[in-house]
Structure 1
């Protein structure tokens, strides 16, 4: 019998340990020089983590119990795709992780395509000082919407509660890693990004140049971007400009400002669809 409480504790400890380790690594070997002073970095850290803490409390109080109840209800009745095909436990768990990661890719891509969703998601992209704390910087509205959609997804797939916690633990560890202000050596990067999303790969996604913003949607496994032709690389990642042009004002960076962002008219309701011109100085290859 899987100890769900122990898994949830492990998830929390892993998240805190990952945050601490990556903050230290960013301090020792930053890829970008993002902050002029320690105070500026501390303010950025506190803002992002306060928003992340608000979201974590809402998920823990409102949605975690609902997710477990949905998973238990579906399991007791043999509902869901994974239960219908009669997989052994290891294959069921692997299928759950892959299916949940595919959904996360699809949801992320929708957040860039649907004007209403982009209003909330742009809070995440408005961070021009992207580091490991940006992994926690999501508007509460986006978290609530994604959490609600998890309920029918859990039932439709037949995901067990412990599989959901396992996926969340693995996924968030990779999300913290690829938001960190670090980079892998080029040869290591070329291998690792064949499997998981890397910091260099995700920096492209946080570029101000729209064709790059609309690429590299994967959260954990990078295969989805290659499979659905949204993978993009940059020959000179050190030239990437992070953030959103219309959200640089400090009014959009405070916790209150981030919460107000979806209701402000700082940017168009959705990013325009544009095709890169061959003479554009930004370089990238779409798989």
Structure 2
């Protein structure tokens, strides 16, 4: 859900992709941008700066810890390419499981809700994550890393792929319907993920996939309805907050 790959070529490729998506969603917008959109984008990137400076360091630490311990499930027999594919698939399904846990466990939801409080979606929404969620997710990735011996390079590669697709599926790009429907059978698209951000909790608690879309179908959490133009985005019964309010959200007293 958060981070960026270090290293010049992948970083440049990811930066160019982000810039392209930002351009396309302004040339071919599916939804009209709301009033105060510049402030919303600045707020999202404010959280994103924290995420993007913290997540890679935590992932490197996680990978180094895992690399120093014999994996529970060695993958050497698969060869380098085979091991990489298995590790990336394992990280993707683990991300699906963690995302679902953030919705189903109240304590975790407190840290994930600031992401959902955004009342409009575009590429900047992909960077809107609370530092607490970054820390929890990085710590949780120790589990697949230790089981499969996933090192820093693979963790960062997965995070770059995850970030690239998150920018895409949060984006406000108007895509040809047939193209998006075909693509959605393989990866998460805006039509899938915008429904996840609908401010009706029944829809919010569905469509948890991050990269490949098959996990939702496999575990029966797929929502059959695509996004509709003008659907309300956010958290049911709540409104978006300022930067300080988002940081404080997980620690506020309830009721």
Q: TM-score, normalised by structure 1?
A: 0.81
Output the aligned Cα RMSD.
2.0
Q: How many residues align?
A: 251
CA separation of 1:42 and 1:167: change in aligned 2, threshold 3 A: same
1:99-248 matches, within 5 Å, as 99-234=90-225, 237-248=228-239
Query: For residues 118 and 236 of structure 1, what CA distance do their matches in structure 2 show?
Result: 23
Query: For residues 115 and 51 of structure 1, what CA distance do their matches in structure 2 show?
Result: 22
Contact in 1 for aligned 2:170/2:193 (Cα 8 Å):
yes
Q: Paired residue for 2:72? A: 80
Q: Paired residue for 2:53? A: 57
Q: Paired residue for 2:84? A: 93
Contact in 1 for aligned 2:63/2:145 (Cα 8 Å):
no
Contact in 1 for aligned 2:208/2:221 (Cα 8 Å):
yes
Query: For residues 165 and 11 of structure 2, what CA distance do their matches in structure 1 show?
Result: 14
Which runs of no fewer than 5 residues in structure 1 stay unpaired? 1-5, 269-287
Give the drift of 1:131: 0.8
Find the residue that maps to 2:31 and give its secondary structure: coil
Query: For residues 237 and 227 of structure 2, what CA distance do their matches in structure 1 show?
Result: 24
Contact in 2 for aligned 1:7/1:162 (Cα 8 Å):
no
Query: For residues 235 and 262 of structure 1, what CA distance do their matches in structure 2 show?
Result: 30
Query: For residues 265 and 138 of structure 1, what CA distance do their matches in structure 2 show?
Result: 20
1:26-45 matches, within 5 Å, as 26-36=25-35, 40-45=36-41
Give the drift of 1:239: 4.1
Give the drift of 1:84: 5.0
- Which of the residues 48, 52, 62 maps onto 1:67? 62
Query: For residues 214 and 145 of structure 2, what CA distance do their matches in structure 1 show?
Result: 22
Which runs of no fewer than 5 residues in structure 2 stay unpaired? none
Q: Paired residue for 1:272? A: none
Greater RCO structure (CA 8 Å; 6+ sep): 2
Q: Paired residue for 2:243? A: 255
Q: Paired residue for 1:283? A: none
Moved over 4 A (4+): none
Residues 123-176 of structure 1, C-alpha deviation per residue, up to 9 Å, x if partnerless? 010000111011000111011111111223311122233222221111111111
CA separation of 1:265 and 1:238: change in aligned 2, threshold 3 A: farther
Computing the radius of gyration from Cα coordinates, the structure with the larger value is: 1
Residues 192-250 of structure 1, C-alpha deviation per residue, up to 9 Å, x if partnerless? 0010000011000000112111110000000100100111132561142111143325x
Query: For residues 130 and 69 of structure 1, what CA distance do their matches in structure 2 show?
Result: 35
Contact in 2 for aligned 1:130/1:179 (Cα 8 Å):
yes
CA separation of 1:29 and 1:225: change in aligned 2, threshold 3 A: same
CA separation of 1:113 and 1:233: change in aligned 2, threshold 3 A: same
Q: TM-score, normalised by structure 2?
A: 0.91
